[in-house]
């Protein structure tokens, strides 16, 4: 229950939007609709019972699974220790991410006591760095399987952070919760970017900051050109 405790007052039920939570037998439950939130392999499940664009989101999750399976077949099967190094790893994606993370950590600090949400956290490498810098950090991803790989971080380093399966377009947090919301290469994966931005804006405290790095906003990466359209909308 430890990793949940600092967040119990900040949760918002993804089904009925109540922020009245109780704890029963170590599990949080919504006092209004009665939903009990389960945990498996260290990940707490906070997806709404009805997910918008569920089919597409599940397809993306399957896509990542297939990609990892294909890489494994091709001989790339990273040991768990690799997840301790990220983003400091000699691969172009991570080299860029490491460069930007350094700027983010410097620009957004000091981090001690700040509430930080990492959206689309996957293996939680950024959540780890925010935690090490002193933040109360929480990682959220639609796909729990990638966050399970972050267990080695929690088992090895003297830090603690919460991992939630949730939908970035429907955040299970109250208004005005976070000092900072961060994401790396995630916005362009959302099916409804405008809705995700509304949720980011709702859950940030007044004066809180959103930091997004490594985003691909140009076609043909977004085949429906939704993201392209979005770049013309200032926020």
Please identify which residue in 30, 139, 186, 204 interacts with ligand SAM, judged by CB under 6 A. 186
Q: Exactly one of 16, 39, 154, 159 binds Zn ion (CB under 5 A); which one?
A: 16
The 3-state secondary structure of 122-177, one letter per residue: CCCHHHHHHHHCCCEEEEEECCHHHHHCCHHHHHHCCCCCEEEECECCECCECCCC
Instruction: CB nearer to ligand SAM: give 30 or 164.
Output: 164
Residue from the set 189, 200, 222, 227 that interacts with ligand SAM by CB under 6 A: 189
State yes or no: residue 204 binds ligand SAM (CB under 6 A): no
Contact in structure between 1 and 26 (CB atoms under 8 Å):
yes
46 is a contact residue toward Zn ion (CB under 5 A) = no
Count of residues touching ligand SAM (by CB under 6 A): 19
CB of 49 to ligand SAM, least distance (A): 15
129 scored as a contact of ligand SAM (CB under 6 A): no
**Site for ligand SAM (CB under 6 A): which residue of 31, 151, 185, 194?**
185
CB–CB of 186/119 below 8 Å?
Answer: yes
Residue bearing tokens 């919760």: 177
**C-alpha–C-alpha distance, residues 134 and 115, integer Å:** 10
Nearer Cβ to Zn ion (37/161): 37
Phi/psi for 46 (5° steps) reads -125, 25
Q: Is 165 within 8 Å of 38 (Cβ atoms)?
A: no
Binding site for Zn ion (CB under 5 A): 13, 15-16, 18, 30, 32-33, 35
């Amino acid at each position: 229950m430890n990793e949940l405790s600092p967040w119990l007052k900040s949760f918002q039920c993804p089904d009925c939007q109540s922020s009245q939570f109780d704890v029963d037998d170590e599990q949080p439950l919504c006092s209004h609709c009665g939903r009990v939130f389960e945990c498996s392999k260290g990940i707490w499940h906070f997806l709404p019972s009805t997910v918008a664009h569920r089919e597409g989101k599940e397809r993306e999750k399957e896509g990542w699974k297939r990609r990892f399976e294909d890489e494994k077949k091709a001989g790339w099967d990273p040991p768990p220790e690799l997840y301790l190094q990220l983003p400091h790893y000699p691969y172009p994606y991570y080299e860029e991410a490491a460069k930007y993370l350094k700027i983010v950590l410097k620009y957004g600090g000091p981090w001690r006591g700040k509430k930080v949400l990492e959206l689309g956290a996957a293996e939680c490498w950024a959540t780890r760095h925010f935690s090490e810098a002193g933040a109360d950090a929480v990682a959220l991803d639609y796909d729990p399987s990638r966050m399970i790989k972050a267990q080695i971080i929690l088992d090895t380093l003297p830090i603690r952070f919460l991992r939630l399966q949730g939908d970035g377009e429907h955040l299970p947090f109250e208004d005005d919760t976070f000092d900072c919301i961060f994401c790396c290469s995630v916005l362009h994966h959302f099916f409804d970017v405008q809705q995700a931005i509304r949720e980011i804006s709702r859950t940030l405290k007044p004066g809180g900051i959103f930091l997004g790095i490594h985003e691909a906003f140009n076609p043909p990466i977004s085949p429906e050109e939704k993201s392209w359209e979005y770049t013309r909308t200032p926020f």
